[in-house]
């Protein structure tokens, strides 16, 4: 809960519009006053929102990162566990965003990181390359079609 209020502190007096998904474990009523530039929901249709997003702050799960890259959205990745630190490092390595450490992060540092990513053209250029690559690949539908085609070819060879 304090993490969410901390994000309010980071962005409440800025020009940024923030859309935040808080999941099912936290209730909006427990958050106190929500700043006017925030939309806070238990669920957000992430892929729909990403189509109109300028920056995505994420914990760095594989699905979320891929969705952000697919829509060409620069990332700030704040990994929490498992494979997320490795994914965050890869995002930074390709120049599509930056990795931050939650343990030492302050509201001011996060706000500065957001402004840096939004205003540095290289992040937008690099994420656009990845977006084009992802979208040309055909996505999950193409992957399913390829799997079925592979299976069909194996069945023919038997």
CB atoms within 10 A of CB 91: 26
pLDDT for residue 158 = 72
Q: Rounded mean pLDDT of 108-124?
A: 97
Measured in whole angstroms, the distance separating CA 135 from the mean position of its chain's CA atoms is 17
Q: Which CATH number fits domain 45-157: 3.40.225.10, 3.40.50.2000, 3.90.110.10, 3.40.50.720?
A: 3.40.50.2000
Side-chain-side CA neighbours of residue 20 (13 Å): 24
Q: How confident is the model at residue 117 (pLDDT cuts 50, 70, 90)?
A: very high
Domains of the chain by residue range: 45-157
CA torsion 75-5-10-52 (nearest 10°) is 40
Mean pLDDT of 48-65: 96
Question: In terms of pLDDT, which residue wins out, 63 or 145?
Answer: 63
The CA-atom distances, in angstroms, between 2 and each of 32, 44, 99 are 11, 20, 21
**pLDDT band at 141; cut points 50, 70, 90:** confident
* Whole-prediction pTM: 0.86
For residue 77, list its beta bridge partners. 58, 99
């Amino acid at each position: 809960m304090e993490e969410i209020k901390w994000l309010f502190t980071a962005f409440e007096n800025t020009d940024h519009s923030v859309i935040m998904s808080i999941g099912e474990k936290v209730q909006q009523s427990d958050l106190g006053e929500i700043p006017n530039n925030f939309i806070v929901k238990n669920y957000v249709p992430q892929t729909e929102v990403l189509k109109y997003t300028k920056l995505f702050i994420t914990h760095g799960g594989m699905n979320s990162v891929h969705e952000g890259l697919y829509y060409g959205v620069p990332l700030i990745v704040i990994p929490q566990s498992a494979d997320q630190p490795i994914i965050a490092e890869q995002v930074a390595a390709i120049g599509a965003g930056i990795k931050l450490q939650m343990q030492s992060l302050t509201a001011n540092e996060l706000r500065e990181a957001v402004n840096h990513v939004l205003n540095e053209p290289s992040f937008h250029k690099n994420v656009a390359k990845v977006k084009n690559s992802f979208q040309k690949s055909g996505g999950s539908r193409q992957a399913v079609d390829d799997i079925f085609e592979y299976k069909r070819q194996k069945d023919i060879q038997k």
